[in-house]
Amino acid sequence: MIKVPALQALLAGAPPAVSMTLKGSEDRDEVKMLAEHKDELLKAGFAFYRSMSGDLGVMYNSLRIHPQDLQAADKQGKLRALAPDFDLVNHEVAKMGLKHPIHFATPPTGLAAPTATTPPQAASGALPLTPPPAAAVQRKLAQARIMNLQPGAPTSGPEPGGGRLLNQVLKGVV
């Protein structure tokens, strides 16, 4: 069972959930294997969620994502963004090699806590959470950074006579 790349990715928490269309998937080998080992998976921290429409099944790592996050994403119609397709994850993780998420996973300390009520945005349509600073503020910051880069005389700065190196270390960062 651990040989399935999508399950390895779930174990690592990257992604924390995968989804599959329920209609017509009953005969798949992966579904039969999951049904056969459901009790062991539940004991290991995996859980299952059925979409509100009933056509999508989600398997998730409860140590990496809270079920409330799945419900919130489902209500907003973004469940697929939070739980990508099982076959897609299985295919992509199988060809990752040394970049496999299991190599970089840190063990969780307990069950996942619920996060914000909004699911993450898709990478292509993601907007920054805060607007960039105004042009005048950006110019002032750039000017302060340039002025900070220019070396002063050895007798100037916060420690006069201490040398350029000490003055650069003691100079504030902008």
Tens digit of pLDDT for each residue in 120-152? Answer: 554 444 445 566 778 888 888 888 877 766 666
Residues 56 and 109 in one domain: yes
What is the CB neighbour count within 10 angstroms for residue 105? 15
Residues 75 and 160 in one domain: no
Has residue 26 been placed in a domain? Answer: yes
Residues 89 and 152 in one domain: no
pLDDT value at residue 105: 67
Domain count, the chain: 2
Contact 85, 20 (CB under 8 A): yes
Has residue 76 been placed in a domain? Answer: yes
Has residue 126 been placed in a domain? Answer: no
Tell me the residue range of the domain where 21 lies: 5-115
Q: What is the pTM of this model?
A: 0.59
Has residue 24 been placed in a domain? Answer: yes
Nearest in space to 157 (alpha carbons), one of 167, 147, 169, 172: 167
Residues 23 and 97 in one domain: yes
- Calculate mean pLDDT across residues 93-97: 79
- Calculate mean pLDDT across residues 159-170: 71
- Measure the CA–CA gap between 97 and 84, rounded to whole angstroms: 20
Q: Residue 75 — pLDDT band, cuts 50, 70, 90?
A: very high
Range of weakest confidence among 36-45, 76-85, 158-167: 158-167
Residues 154 and 87 in one domain: no
pLDDT value at residue 116: 56
Residues 83 and 140 in one domain: no
Has residue 127 been placed in a domain? Answer: no
Has residue 130 been placed in a domain? Answer: no
Residues 90 and 156 in one domain: no
Residues 94 and 37 in one domain: yes
Contact 33, 1 (CB under 8 A): yes
Has residue 121 been placed in a domain? Answer: no
Residue 61 tokens, joined: 């790592």
Residues 97-121 pLDDT 10s = 766 666 666 666 667 777 755 545 5
